[in-house]
A = this chain, B = another copy of it.
Amino acid sequence: LSPTGAYENAPQPSADKSPIAIICGGGAFPGAVADAVNARGRPVYLFLLRGYADPALAHYPHEWVKLGSLATFVGSSRKRGIKEIVIIGSVVRPRLAQLGFDWKSALLLSRLARMFLGGDNSLLSGVAKIFEENGLSVRAPHEVAPEILMPVGLVTRLEPSTQEREDIEIGRRLLHAIDSFDVGQAVVIAGRRVVAIEGAEGTQGLLERVHAMRESGRLRLREREGVLVKLPKPSQDWRIDMPAIGNDTIRQAKAAGLAGIAVQAIGTLVPDAQKFVETAEAENIFVVALPPLDRTKA
Contacts and interface: CB of A to CB of B under 8 A. Distances in A.
Contact of A218 (B183, B184, B201): B201
A180 B177 CA distance: 10
Contacts of A202: 218
Give this chain's copy count.
Answer: 2
A108 B177 CA distance: 36
Contacts of A213: 200-201
Interface range on chain A: under 10, 10 to 19, 20 to 34, or 35 or more?
Answer: 35 or more
A199 interface: yes
Contacts of A219: 200
Nearest to A209: B201
Given A92-B218, A196-B200, 12 more contacts: A108-B217, A111-B220, A114-B217, A120-B220, A174-B183, A177-B177, A178-B178, A183-B193, A184-B197, A195-B200, A197-B199, A202-B218
Interface of A: 92, 107-108, 110-111, 114-115, 118, 120, 170, 173-174, 177-178, 180-184, 188, 193-202, 205, 209, 213, 215-220
